[in-house]
Amino acid sequence: MTEKKTAAEAAKGKADAHGAQSSKAGAQTGIGQPDTGQAAVSYSMSPGLVPRMAKGAFSVAFSSYQSGLLYMLGVKPGGGAHLHQSAQPKPMGLSFNRNGQLTMTGGFHVIRFENVLAPHERVNGMFDACFVPRRTHFTGALDAHDIGLDTDGEPVFVNTRFNCIANTDARHSFRPVWRPPFISALVNEDRCHLNGLAMDGDTPAYATAVSRSDTIDGWRDRRADGGVVIDIRRNEIACEGLSMPHSPRLHNGELWVLNSGTGELGVVAGLDKGKGRFEPRAFCPGFLRGLSFHRGFAFVGLSKPRYQRFEGLELDARLKKADSEPWCGVQVIDLKTGSCVDWFRIDGPVGELYDVEVLPGISCPMSLSLTSPELADLITYEGMNPKPAA
């Protein structure tokens, strides 16, 4: 009977419909080709990534609005990588908190996933976390980017279409809480391409924008060096002269940022003395978006540039000088040396990622999509039969 099932039993079988695993093994990785009709998509990874994840007991989630998939890369109980993917409407920003909740911005919504498994439970004998959509705010198409959780545990996100930081609202599409000092009005025009959000705990601290433009689409003419980091609490510019900056993050007392137009991961130095300056720490061969940290390493998302929109940036010259082509995937950067120690790569028609989030304490996660029949059939509740997983 359904009411006597554990959460793991209730979710059993749900993974197969959305998993990327198949019987055809990847040449370098052991990761199968996804059964999505895109046979040209392939995956490869460095030999040290699986041991690193297994030893550190973590997995990695990343989003691609281009493919419409939320990816979760983990390690199977018997060893080897497993890439799970679930269909999501334009998945963008990701935020994983200490309560085990994963929050994500999407094409017209903000969604909260809950891990419904108890620590001892497994789905299909493999997945130790099953992220299920439990709370969805339908915002309309705001082109929402980065996201965090505020002091009340409510989503706070970058509303790019309206050039502001916003909360969800029970009645309306959003509730504006802050906008850059150079934006003169709350208006439905992407003027500065506000995109990144750095949280200081549960408080919005810094934001990134491609320019200080106050006219519709004005940011497109300032891609090379018009980028800024904005101190939200002081309501002033903290760093300028950047090229399409993304993914500001506070980590170990430093403000990190991706200078996407140059392919550089770095920090904003000198904030304590006034306006800061960007200090590069590593170069990655791609247009950078998505940044997370774990135990002395940065996990950086790479995308292939859309040249019709991003051509002419310094990244082009850097790649040419390095005799390298841009690629899509995740690189693991040693913060002490600035070198790439591990990587995961996607080749084929999927060329753009948006965000990356490390999931500590989870070895092999899965997630369900909003429209899946498996979600409709999955019922869990507090106090379900605590039968140990087989």
Can you give the pLDDT at residue 386? Answer: 55
Provide the pLDDT confidence category of residue 27 given band limits of 50, 70 and 90. Answer: very low
Give 228-269 pLDDT, tens digit per residue.
999 999 999 999 999 999 999 999 999 999 999 999 999 999
Distance CA 390, CA 387 (A): 9
Q: Give residue for tokens 């934001």.
A: 207
Residue 139, pLDDT above cutoff 50:
yes
In this predicted model, which residue has the larger pLDDT, 306 or 305?
A: 305
| Distance (Å, whole) CA 370 – CA 156 | 21
The backbone torsions φ and ψ at residue 221, rounded to the nearest 5 degrees and listed phi first, read -90, 5
- Give the pLDDT of residue 200: 97
State the Cα angle at 69 between 64 and 75, rounded to 5°. 100
| Residue 17 bridge partners (DSSP) | none
Dihedral sign for Cα 251, 203, 227, 331, please: positive
Strands 175-178 and 194-200: unpaired
Give per-residue burial for 16-25: e unless 16+ CB within 10 Å, then b. Answer: eebbbbeeee
User: Mean pLDDT score of the chain, rounded to an integer?
Assistant: 89
Sign of CA dihedral 158, 164, 167, 169: negative
Q: Can you tell me the distance from the alpha carbon of 354 to that of 64, in angstroms, rounded to the nearest whole number? A: 6
pLDDT score for 213 = 98
Report pLDDT digits (tens) over 336-390: 999 999 999 999 999 999 999 999 999 999 999 998 888 988 999 887 765 544 4
Domain architecture of the chain: domains with CATH? 2-377 (2.120.10.30)
Task: List all residues 6 or more positions away from 379 whose beta carbon is below 8 Å from its beta carbon.
Answer: 2, 10
Strands 365-367 and 129-138: parallel
Q: What per-residue confidence (pLDDT) applies to 309?
A: 61
* Residue 311, pLDDT above cutoff 90: no
- H helix intervals, 227-334: 307-310, 314-321
The pLDDT assigned to 42 comes to 95
Q: Is the pLDDT of residue 170 over 70?
A: yes
- pLDDT bracket for residue 37 (50, 70, 90): very low
pTM beyond cutoff 0.75? yes
Q: Is pLDDT above 70 for 328?
A: yes
Q: Are 221 and 183 in contact (CB under 8 A)?
A: no
Q: Which tokens is 8 given?
A: 């793991």
Helix (H, G, I), strand (E, B) or coil at 221: helix
**Alpha-carbon distances of 259 from 151, 158, 277, 356, rounded to whole Å:** 29, 18, 12, 16
pLDDT tens-digit map of 267-279: 999 998 878 999 9
- 59-97 pLDDT, tens digit per residue, is 999 999 999 999 999 999 999 999 999 999 999 999 999
Q: How far apart are CA 381 and CA 362, in angstroms?
A: 21
Residue 53 has pLDDT above 50, yes or no: yes
Predicted confidence band of residue 39 (pLDDT cuts 50, 70, 90): low
pLDDT at position 98, please? Answer: 85
pLDDT for res 10: 58
Minimum mean pLDDT range among 125-139, 255-269, 304-318? 304-318
Q: Which residues pair with 82 in a beta bridge?
A: 74
Is residue 26 exposed (0-12), middle (13-18) or buried (19+ Cβ within 10 Å)?
middle
d(CA 178, CA 46): 42
124-130-136 Cα angle (round to 5): 145
Band of residue 306 on the pLDDT scale cut at 50, 70, 90: confident
Residue-wise pLDDT tens digits, 177-214: 999 999 999 999 999 999 999 999 999 999 999 999 99
Structure tokens at 80: 């080897």
